[in-house]
Amino acid sequence: MDKTLQLLSLVRKANKLITGEEFVTDAVRKNKVFLVFLASDAGVNTTKKITDKTKFYKIPLINTYTSEELSSAIGKKRMVIGITDLGFATSIKKGCDSYGKETQEQR
């Protein structure tokens, strides 16, 4: 498990994330998330919906991990994860940037 996924596991333990497509979409609309993870193997409709919402509301999006990798990091089978803590979101984003993972920067 790479460092980003380890941080994601820590975020779950700190109870600073929202999971599930509808919950994350709602939180994005309310500006309650600072970073969104989208599984690279998510369906076409889910990918379009989350990508469009994060672009419109200028929320960074990371879509380089599969649903299996994300699910093992948080202990639940999920395709979409939102980070609700600015400090964790910043740390994860910096980690992805330094390890060459793509972040769609929209802020």
Each residue's pLDDT tens digit, 36-93 = 999 999 999 999 999 999 999 999 999 999 999 999 999 999 999 999 999 999 999 8
* Residues of the domain holding 55: 3-98
Cβ atoms 19, 76 nearer than 8 A:
yes
The verdict on residue 105 lying in a domain is no
**pTM for this one?**
0.88
What average pLDDT does the segment 10-19 reach?
A: 95
The verdict on residue 106 lying in a domain is no
For residue 97, pLDDT over 70 is answered with no
Q: Are strands 35-38 and 61-62 parallel, antiparallel or unpaired?
A: parallel
For residue 99, pLDDT over 70 is answered with no
- Please report, for the domain that includes residue 23, its CATH number: 3.30.1330.30
Cβ atoms 8, 92 nearer than 8 A:
yes
The verdict on residue 104 lying in a domain is no
* Structural domains of the chain, count: 1
Confidence of residue 96 (pLDDT cuts 50, 70, 90): confident
Cβ atoms 75, 8 nearer than 8 A:
no
Q: In what order do the strands lie in the sheet with 17-19?
A: 17-19, 80-83, 35-38, 61-62
Structure confidence at residue 2 (pLDDT): 85
Confidence of residue 107 (pLDDT cuts 50, 70, 90): very low
Name the one residue in this structure whose structure tokens are 């990508």: 51
